[in-house]
Amino acid sequence: MKTNEVKLIPIVQLKQNKSKENRSSSIMKIGAEYKWKKGYTGKGVVVAVIDTGCAINHADLKNNIIGGYNFTEEYDGDITIFEDTNGHGTHVAGIIAGSKNGTGIVGVAPDAKLLILKALNRYGGGSINSVVEAIHYAIDWRGPMGEKVRVISLSLGTKTPDPDLHAAIKRAVANNILVVAASGNDGDGDTKTNEHRYPGAFEEVVEVGAINKENKVSVFSNTNEFVDLYAPGEDIYSSYLNNSYATLSGTSMATPHVSGAIALLIEEYEKLLEKELNETEIFQLLMKHTTPINTKENTKIYVLNLKKNPIVSVNEQESTKKLNREMLLKCFCEARKTQAFFTKCLDENSTEEEKEFIAELVKEYAKTSNKILEYCGINFKK
């Protein structure tokens, strides 16, 4: 590989279109459905996907694409045509935000919007300059309603760190955009050794490694001191070219699981806290939604787990109680007139630790429960 090129390295197996909606086991494994049941689907969050483009008329993607740009020489350099000629970008986009439309696949954040930035060609290669331009475009882009990019997803890499690429990423982070990138597929099966790919190995990037269905680090996954967390990356089923579907493996597939998860967390916690979170705060929330696991080499990795629902804010002294009250209020309001429904709500929305906390909160705020019920417009039957 030339030093000024970036590349992606997927493993491909094509599968036929499915007539019914398929919730990939990897989506369920990370706990995305847990967030959906609470009403969070990534709505209002824009994720920029810098890849090979996207099959813009794919049934599972066409309604979630908010815009795009072509940075390659394909289509005679027409900047308005960002159609995928490889399949990789379409697959990544589906993992992030395949729509919940009753057919095909469902992504992690099915209501998130996708900004498709085509920086790689039909062979999966491209120039670092194209990627740099795409990052700056994502930072400056504004949607028809003033939307801004909140997440940049990069399932690509190069072995050589590039200063212009690093500077572009620093600018994105300074603009409160989380940059998520694959660790690479050059691993040797030993989590104690270091293999670096950039931009993933830049400190400012949320670097993602791949695990298999047994929560073990994939043999191909790069490991290094900058990998922040791991997500499913083997045999991932998602959208592909010609309105079809494919199974791919790689850290390229693990990365969009995290990008989609961030979209869910942004929607959830910005609604709860009633403010826009900065890049550091969102990263802290992401890492609170991971589970530590010890590897066979006795090293610790962190695996994405959206079922973990810490009822804490990024500014704990100011808003921990606010978040807990919001959770309590949600259960009261979903109670639908009976104590039984309130109990069911706690069972569906809380961990055991959270249930204990909320039980104490009920006692603490027993005197104000009537106000809460009045706010919800319901009354418990005695």
Residues annotated as part of the active site: 51, 88, 252
Read off the amino acid at residue 73. Answer: E
CA 176 to chain centre: 16
What does R_g of the chain's alpha carbons equal in angstroms? 21
**In this structure, are residues 343 and 336 in contact, taking their beta carbons and an 8 Å threshold?**
no
* Cis ω before 163 (30° cut-off from 0): no
Q: Is the dihedral of CA 142, 240, 94, 57 positive or negative?
A: positive
Q: Which residue has the tokens 């483009």?
A: 53
Show Cβ contacts of residue 343 under 8 Å, excluding neighbours closer than 6 positions. none
Nearest to 98 by CA among 55, 59, 49, 143: 59
CA distance 35 to 39: 7
Query: Angle 211-61-158 (CA atoms, 0-180°, nearest 5)?
Result: 45
Residues 168, 136: contact at Cβ < 8 Å? yes
Q: Do 46 and 273 meet the contact criterion of CB atoms below 8 Å apart?
A: no
* Nearest Cα to Cα of residue 6 among 181, 107, 100, 130: 130
Alpha-carbon span 167 to 146, nearest angstrom: 25
Residues 299 and 192 sit within 8 Å (Cβ to Cβ): yes
Alpha-carbon separation of residue 197 from 8, 89, 104, 187 (angstroms) = 11, 19, 33, 11
